[in-house]
């Protein structure tokens, strides 16, 4: 049996020697990371660095060729994606996957119902559904968008749609939240919306932020990991990463500050 770290030392999510090949192409090369409760880790790297592949391995969309993924002391690399969600590993997506003809509140309430094991389609007008709606309203209120709860998703500005996806993820009660490019596609006039939402995320949740917007990463992350060609180049606090000449050379291809 594989030995686990002692409870007082154990991170909420631990990745050990994770590897993935597509044929002869090694897209994830012995990646190891730890996230403790409350972590705010940014994951950056040039296009093709393997960031999305790593997220897909963590969430069960892909199966690793080697390595361990440990969530709350349990090896989960063989679990299905939905089983990982039930255990507290939740992600948002670079391209949102919302139910556009439903209201904002309904989208979140459906996530609540799924978490509680309710067949929401058959409970639409029962007390259990009303409880889901109330929790959804509270979740939207925490992100400051409850006033738009009755609007159809298709009518929402894109920035609010991205906030809705975060609200849905939070409704699943994650212990680890993987934010996959939450700022993608948001016009500059709405960019402050994501900053404000990230500041409101529960402090106890461990968060891995994958993002191309370096300003957003450096504002949010307490630590940053740089991924290059599927392998970890370095990890450090934002000031260390910004000054690292190897990061500047590999990530940007030129000698200027990140």
Question: Is residue 255 scored above 50 in pLDDT?
Answer: no
Can you tell me the distance from the alpha carbon of 42 to that of 221, in angstroms, rounded to the nearest whole number?
A: 5
CB atoms within 10 A of CB 104: 28
pLDDT of residue 257: 42
Query: Within the chain, where are the H helices?
Result: 51-59, 81-86, 104-116, 127-142, 158-171, 191-199, 214-220, 238-243, 245-247
Question: Is residue 125 scored above 80 in pLDDT?
Answer: no
Domain membership flag for residue 141: no
Residue ranges making up the domain that contains 79: 13-96+173-252
pLDDT of residue 100: 82
Confidence of residue 95 (pLDDT cuts 50, 70, 90): low
Domain membership flag for residue 242: yes
Domain membership flag for residue 183: yes
Confidence of residue 75 (pLDDT cuts 50, 70, 90): very high
Q: What CATH number does residue 89 fall under?
A: 3.40.50.300
| Residue 152 CA, distance from chain mean position | 24
Can you tell me the distance from the alpha carbon of 106 to that of 211, in angstroms, rounded to the nearest whole number?
A: 28
Query: 39: which residues sit within 8 A by CB, 6+ positions away?
Result: 11, 12, 206, 207, 208, 222, 223
Domain membership flag for residue 115: no
Confidence of residue 195 (pLDDT cuts 50, 70, 90): confident
Question: Is residue 253 scored above 60 in pLDDT?
Answer: no
Give the mean model confidence (pLDDT) for residues 174-182: 93
Give the mean model confidence (pLDDT) for residues 132-153: 93
This prediction has a pTM of: 0.88
Domain membership flag for residue 164: no
CA end-to-end distance (rounded Å), the chain? 43
Can you tell me the distance from the alpha carbon of 20 to that of 155, in angstroms, rounded to the nearest whole number?
A: 40
Question: Is residue 166 scored above 50 in pLDDT?
Answer: yes
> How many domains does one find in the chain?
1
Instruction: Count CA within 13 A, CB hemisphere, residue 256.
Output: 3
Query: 107: which residues sit within 8 A by CB, 6+ positions away?
Result: 98, 99, 136, 153, 164, 167, 168
Provide the phi-psi class of 18: left if phi over 0, else alpha when psi is between -120 and 50, else beta. beta
Domain membership flag for residue 138: no
- Pairing verdict, β 40-44 and 223-228: parallel
Domain membership flag for residue 17: yes
Domain membership flag for residue 224: yes
- Pairing verdict, β 176-180 and 89-91: parallel
């Amino acid at each position: 049996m594989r030995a686990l770290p002692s409870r007082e030392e154990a991170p909420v999510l631990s990745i050990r020697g994770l590897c993935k090949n597509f044929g002869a192409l090694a897209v994830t090369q012995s990646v190891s990371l730890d996230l403790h409760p409350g972590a705010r880790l940014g994951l950056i790297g040039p296009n093709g660095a393997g960031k999305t592949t790593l997220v897909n391995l963590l969430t069960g969309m892909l199966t690793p060729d080697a390595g361990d993924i440990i969530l709350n002391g349990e090896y989960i690399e063989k679990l299905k994606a939905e089983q990982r969600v039930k255990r507290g590993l939740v992600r948002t997506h670079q391209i949102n996957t919302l139910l556009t003809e439903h209201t904002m509140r309904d989208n979140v309430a459906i996530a609540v119902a799924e978490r509680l094991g309710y067949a929401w389609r058959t409970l639409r007008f029962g007390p259990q559904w009303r409880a889901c709606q109330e929790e959804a309203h509270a979740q939207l209120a925490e992100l400051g968008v409850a006033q738009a709860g009755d609007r159809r998703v298709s009518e929402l500005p894109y920035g609010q749609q991205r906030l809705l996806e975060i609200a849905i993820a939070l409704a699943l009660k994650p212990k680890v939240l993987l934010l996959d490019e939450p700022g993608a596609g948001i016009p500059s006039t709405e960019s402050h919306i994501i900053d404000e939402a990230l500041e409101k995320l529960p402090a106890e949740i461990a968060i891995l932020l994958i993002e191309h917007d370096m300003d957003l990463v450096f504002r949010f992350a307490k630590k940053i990991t740089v991924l290059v060609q599927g392998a970890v180049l370095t990890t450090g606090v934002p000031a260390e990463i910004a000054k690292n000449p190897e990061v500047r050379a590999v990530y940007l291809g030129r000698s200027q500050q990140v």
